[in-house]
Amino acid sequence: MLNMKCLNSFTAIIALTAGVFVSLSGKITPQQELFENFEKAMNGVRFSGFFTVDGSKNPPSEEVYEIQSVQKFGEQDLWIFTARIKYGQKDVTLPMPLPVKWIGDIPIISMNNMNIPGLGTFSAHVVIDGNKYAGTWRHGKVGGHLYGKITKIK
């Protein structure tokens, strides 16, 4: 007769083995499904909203980012965002490797002192919640908040 400790170990081995077989069977894992849904949701979208500047008495300024495509890159938290960025007098489209962290099923773009060619070095932490986004940003000694809506580009 098996004792409880042995039975629990045996049950754990069966559960792990079943998990490996499910992964090898070609069925999608919850994480893969999450990533696929994020990729679909972020392809061909426009982030339009506002940003503030800390310490400024001016009202929030408009901002627009057009995301052409998003694709998972490697095993880490990196995603390639191909985006059109309008910032001041600049208007550029470029691929950017951006870290995306997850809190449950909520993605957070989280970059620290990232150099964006032609634009400068930025930090930003942006929560994506359905068709809304909100977060903080920093460019050198200047920073603030940002927020807005996400819509499909027609």
Domain span at residue 71 reads: 32-152
Taking alpha carbons only, the member of 57, 103, 108, 51 closest to residue 79 is 108
3: in domain? no
Average pLDDT of the chain to the nearest whole number: 85
18: in domain? no
17: in domain? no
For tokens 């960025």, name the residue: 85
User: pTM of the predicted model, to two decimals?
Assistant: 0.78
Q: Kindly report, residue by residue over 86-137, the tens digit of the pLDDT.
A: 777 888 899 999 999 999 999 999 999 999 888 899 999 999 999 999 999 9
Structure tokens at 128: 């994506």
Does the pLDDT at position 25 exceed 70?
Answer: no
Domain CATH for 104: 2.40.128.120
Q: Kindly report, residue by residue over 72-87, the tens digit of the pLDDT.
A: 998 889 999 999 987 7
Domains in the chain: how many in total? 1
How far is Cα 135 from Cα 83, in angstroms, rounded to an integer? 18
How far is Cα 147 from Cα 124, in angstroms, rounded to an integer? 12
113: in domain? yes
Strand partners, 152: 45
Burial 33-69 (b: 16+ CB within 10 A, else e): eebeebeebbeebbbebebbeeeeeeebeebebbbee
